[in-house]
Chain A
């Protein structure tokens, strides 16, 4: 017998849990499919604080933030499959799931994608030199440390200034490692400013902007690496190469939405976010398939993930229960210093407000965020500083969205 659910949520991290709870509130019968042995996703390994200020109004650690949602999910009438992986999703929303109990197919009225993201690797950026032990993504080192209790090494260089890398600089320092250096290819940090302060500056860890690794040394274990400043085309200036001895290199060079499940489904994808193109309900180009959290676009704050997932989960329930009417949409386009804006489509004629999130291409000071519809400014805000590492939000009145929307900096 094939099981049926109104909403199947793929992924039991912060996005999946918030989506499931939101779908339940709308009266849907919900299944959450989670790969790990427990709910919570990557939050479980983020033992640092800084979560929940916006959502819960207090500062929590990752496991605490996750726990609040886990307790809610467990106390509600939501089916959860752990150690379960979706192997295939079809456009007619059949979800094929593998677990230690067996291989089953579930029919879903709507599907919420909440699989999160993965880290870009040393291989993907083709770091030159040897390929020794001691080179890991920051998240893998974080998992080994915070979940398993093992420190990968004690003389550490970090490539990239993504938040996980910065957080791991502090974690490893506090566990007795020496973080020698952080290297960032760009002239600015890709992580949050406060993490530069509290994870690097507090521990006198130097960060070199516009630098990259030119060569790894050592085999079978990393013994050191060469690095150099880069020119304006981000090519290393080899005459200025320097050496640092280390036994560990952590990479924090970007996160990529993990949309492998969509290959073979004809979902419209954004080449910029690597996530699906969605409307204000976070519905993809396939009706009834929704996407939220880091699988849609990489967020800085879990609080925003939870909020976005609530939108997606609620809308998925509405869809499955037949409470939606499709309408014409306007497109949301990013230009002039705005890298992408999301959602990329908004249904015409709604009431109330809609939030649009965006990231900038570069660091900009004293720019004005401008939103135009049919050549008219419908929104304008002055800013002191904008950086690609920090997602911005603008709130628009839906009645203003009578035509295609352009988000730009002036």
Chain B
């Protein structure tokens, strides 16, 4: 059994997750996203990474993963981003890397500082 708080939205529903005979049940959520989150959090937790990337002109761009990646890869992914440099004319929406620490997930520029 696992007790946690749903992070899908600011509501912060308290979840109780149980597995019985291979079936995961989630209680405490107030929407379907909470159920999905609970199931995922129990079996293979994931998080969205938001971070900074150095620009070629010395400035900074902000970036995120287009979808959550495995939680245990977050620190490694953040360190990896530290070694990247994007072009000075990067703009919001540019894809920096595809399949970034998870299949089908992109590292995307979110803003120019």
Contact = CB atoms under 8 A, between A and B. Distances in A.
B62 A198 contact: no
A367 B75 CA distance: 40
B5 A47 contact: no
Contact of B113 (A48, A146, A194): A146
Contacts of B5: 193-194, 196-197
Interface string B13-56: 01000000000000000000000000000000001111110100
A170 B53 CA distance: 16
A196 B5 CA distance: 9
Interface stretch (A2-10, A61-69, A241-249): A61-69
A48 B74 CA distance: 14
Interface residues of B, number: 29
Contacts of A192: 10, 12
Nearest to B58: A149
A146 B10 contact: no
Contacts, number: 86
Given A47-B62, A61-B50, A148-B113, A53 B9 contact: yes
A287 interface: no
A149 B12 contact: no
A362 interface: no
B52 A47 contact: yes
Contacts of B10: 50, 53, 192, 194, 300-301, 390
A61 B64 contact: yes
B110 A47 contact: yes
Interface in A62-80: 62-64, 66-67
A140 interface: no
Interface residues of A, number: 35
Given A44-B113, A47-B111, A193-B12, A61 B62 contact: yes
A147 interface: yes
A174 interface: yes
B92 A67 contact: yes
Contacts of A49: 48, 50, 64
B60 interface: yes
B67 to A, nearest CB: 10
Interface of A: 44-45, 47-50, 53-54, 59-64, 66-67, 145-149, 174-175, 192-194, 196-198, 202, 300-301, 384-385, 390
5 contacts: A47-B111, A63-B62, A174-B74, A197-B4, A202-B47
9 closest A-B pairs by CB? A63-B111, A193-B12, A47-B62, A194-B7, A174-B78, A61-B110, A149-B60, A147-B113, A48-B50
